[in-house]
Amino acid sequence: MANDDDADMEAMYDQAADIAGKHLNAALDEGGPLEYLVAVMMVEAAVNAAVEATSREDIIRLLKDLIEQIESDETDED
């Protein structure tokens, strides 16, 4: 049963990631020379929407994990 729940959650995550990626790419294309700023503003808008949908604590935990991933990727590149 737990494996089914995990598979369902992973499928939903993948679907959500595909939708987000599609819209991010469209926004970046529309942004043209402002692409970098559009990307930053998309992150801010997404974080604000996520806080509304869940909780500050959940989003803070998620962002801390994301920071660790970014720092790890940076360390791996060096």
Tens digit of pLDDT for each residue in 20-66?
Answer: 999 999 999 999 999 999 999 999 999 999 999 999 999 999 999 99
Quote the domain boundaries for residue 7. 2-77
Query: Which of 48, 51, 27, 50 shows the shortest CA–CA distance to 39?
Result: 27
Give the per-residue pLDDT at 1: 56
How far apart, in whole angstroms, are the C-alpha atoms of residue 48 and residue 70? Answer: 20
Among 4-8, 11-15, 45-49, 74-78, where is mean pLDDT lowest? 74-78
Give the per-residue pLDDT at 76: 81
What is the average per-residue pLDDT within 9-26?
Answer: 94
pTM of the complete model beyond 0.75: no
**Count of domains forming the chain:** 1
